[in-house]
A and B are shown apart, each in its own frame.
Chain A
Amino acid sequence: MLPELGEDQLRELFQTMLVMRRFEEALITLAGEFDVGHFHVYIGQEATGAPALGLLEDGDFGFTTHRNHGHLLARGVDPARMMAEILGRETGTNQGKGGTLHLSSLEHGFPVTSAATGGCIPLATGAAFGFSKLGNRRVSVCLMGDGSLEEGAWHESVNIAALEKLPIIYLCENNSLEALGQRANEYPSSSMAASPLTGLAAVFGMPAVAIDGFDAGEVHDTMNIAIARARAGDGPTFIEARTVRWPGSRPLWPQLLTGELDLTIAWDETALPDEHVEWHRSQDGILRFTRELIEAGNLTPEQALEIDAGVKAQMKEAVQFALDSPYPPPEAALDHVYA
């Protein structure tokens, strides 16, 4: 379903999802020609991240994990500076010191990407603790994968968040709906015996809901309630947004196995490829959102393609900016060890 938003906001959301997707596609393509190093892509989770993070206000914080590019883009971080950071350039968000695994932009409320699984859970909880002590009605969002629930940091942090009624939303993006254990109806996650995963939060006495991560409307509504609850001082919420792992993320190095996103599939059945049919028919959240927008009359195919063309051009510029940017000077290696 569509989020209850005005037409302009819906189109903005559509554009944000395309930025997230086209950024990753541009990066994967670039990695074919240029040694980018290892990275993780957010493809397949756009319908979760875009509406969820679109609800944050200035001053709210998000903390994220290795599958982070989409999160930062959703909060308006410049794709050119992100691309430059991933390529280790001086013009990057972190001056080339962080790379894909530590992208951060404080001015956009994204201080930390942690590459240690679960590493951001205590940090996000601490930001919420700080907000609560400062009484400023800000909220902290902890973006985490289902794997981080396997870490002790989760259990310690969620306990404290509940005890202190902290203004935090744990948004767990469980992209393992198609994992072997899940298919066999054994485990809800890749390697977690607990079932359902929401039980791992519910036991601490907080709202804990599992939602369809491909459904932008459900994400928007659930997140909206959680944020209001946090701002009101009523405490944390746990949301498990269920998606699948994009086929191109299954190999060690991301590959465009499903091809570049072809928006025409959303309105033209004959454009449906023979391979990865399930992905294109029901699992690609962007195609689903596009279909919903068109059906509701909020967008025409022509408008969709026009927005997409603009986004593609922006990504081309971002890649060029990154490639044209200088590497940091050697002496920068020893800057910022101490504040």
Chain B
Amino acid sequence: MPELRYIDAIRRALQEEMENDESIVILGEDVTLGGPFGATTGLADKFGVTRVRNTPISEGAVMGMAVGASLVGLRPIVEIMFVDFITLAMDQLVNHAAKLHYMSGGQLRVPLTVRVQGGISGGYGAHHSQSLEAWFLHVPGLKVVAPATASDAAGLLKSAIRDDNPVLFLEHRALYWTGGEVGEVIEPIIFGRAAIRRAGTDATVVAVSRMVPAALEAAERLEESGTSIEVIDPRTLAPLDLDTILESVRRTGRLVVAHEAVTVGGIGGEIAAQVQEVAFADLTGPVLRVGAPFAPVASSPVLEKLFAPGVDAIVDAVQRSLAFSRDGAPA
């Protein structure tokens, strides 16, 4: 299979969907130029500046415009340059896009895709490094997608665009230039189906977005000391494939959830809660979380490293998990 970079896979999915559906338009700041990292490069040449539309620096109005346009027959894709700036569009996304189908008693549909990139990399500092997925999981009506591989980025983006609900599509900047195999034909990936990235028996690690490659590396390292971990990539956070996680936890008895967002209030806590509610008896120890410390992300490269959890943190959490036993004795 040909290898594509994550960012190129995104561009290919955008292009193929736009070729198939004339109602798709892209709205965002500098999208005709390709956006900040080139995800939309060349699309304006191919589809024209009517369908790939530069907007003023007005995130709130652009988000609302996209919702309004979706109500009259367009299928808009909004690009918010950095997820951090989605704060400026929260009213339209949370109060309008997410709720219009419900509040109208099913009269309205909002087929909207919101592409954002975020995460820690490059010393961008506190306004360009956040992982805010947990905010949106809290909002009924939104779907939240966080691809970890090039192939998933393409397939999930196709599904997001075709979905009749607002979908928040979270790209990780540090994954943009990572390569991966992508099929000749990109098939849409159904939401709510986790991928088991590596099978294992001793502990389950649920890893989100960039934590997936980190977890796989941690698995390699742990294997050297005879520990076998199963790595699950939920791929979509809303809907969440709890069944796949539960099935794994029932086999391993131990669960670590790794994400790059601040640990407090993150999706790790939500997954831990959902798992213990139905599988408490299957757990051999507490569910552990790996995430960022509770502080804004610092810009200095030395400090920034302290924020992005990586392989070491996952290995450490797995080892701490394995150290628990139900009867109080070391495992």
Q: Do B102 and A336 touch across chains, with their CB atoms under 8 A apart?
A: yes
Q: Is the CB of B101 within 8 A of A122?
A: no
Assess whether B67 is in contact with A92, with CB atoms less than 8 Å apart: no
CB proximity of B235 to chain A, nearest CB, Å? 17
Chain B 224-257, CB-CB to A under 8 Å as 1, else 0, gives 0000000000000000000000000000000000
Judge if A248 is at the interface, Cβ distance under 8 Å: no
Best-buried of A106, A130, A337 by chain B (most CB within 10 Å): A130
CB <8 Å contact, A339 and B165: yes
A122-B61 in contact (CB<8A): yes
Tell me which residues across on chain B come within 8 A of A105, comparing CB atoms: 107
Q: Is the CB of B96 within 8 A of A119?
A: yes
Residues of B within 8 A of A92 (CB): 105
Knowing A94-B103, A160-B58 are in contact, say whether A127-B69 is a contact too (CB < 8 A).
Answer: yes
Residue of A nearest to B100 (CB): A112
Interface size grouping (class) on chain B: 35 or more
Q: In the complex, which residues 95-137 of chain B have their Cβ closer than 8 Å to any Cβ of chain A?
A: 95-96, 100-110
| B96→A153 contact, CB < 8 A | no
How far, in Å, is A75 (CB) from chain B's closest CB? 14
Q: How far is the CA of A68 from the CA of B205 in the complex (A)?
A: 51
Question: Which of A131-139, A221-229, A282-290 sits within the interface?
Answer: A131-139
Q: Cβ of B25: which chain A residues have Cβ within 8 Å of it?
A: 133
C-alpha spacing A335/B105, complex, angstroms: 8
Interface string of A313-339 (1 = CB under 8 A from B): 000000000000000000000011111
Q: For A3, what are the chain B residues with a Cβ–Cβ distance below 8 Å?
A: none
Bound CA–CA A138/B103 (angstroms): 25
B65: A residues at CB distance < 8 A: 122-123, 125-126, 129, 157, 160
Whole-angstrom distance from the CB of A210 to the nearest CB of chain B?
A: 24
Cα-based distance from A93 to B65 in the complex (angstroms): 24
User: Is B60 in contact with A156, judged by CB distance below 8 angstroms?
Assistant: yes
A residues near B61, Cβ cutoff 8 Å: 121-122, 125, 153, 156-157, 159-160
- Asked if A97 and B72 make an inter-chain contact with CB atoms under 8 angstroms apart, the answer reads no
Apart from A114-B95, A122-B62, A128-B68, what 19 extra A-B contacts exist at CB < 8 Å? A63-B68, A102-B103, A104-B107, A104-B108, A119-B92, A119-B96, A121-B64, A123-B96, A125-B65, A129-B68, A129-B69, A133-B50, A134-B74, A138-B72, A156-B56, A157-B64, A159-B56, A160-B61, A335-B106
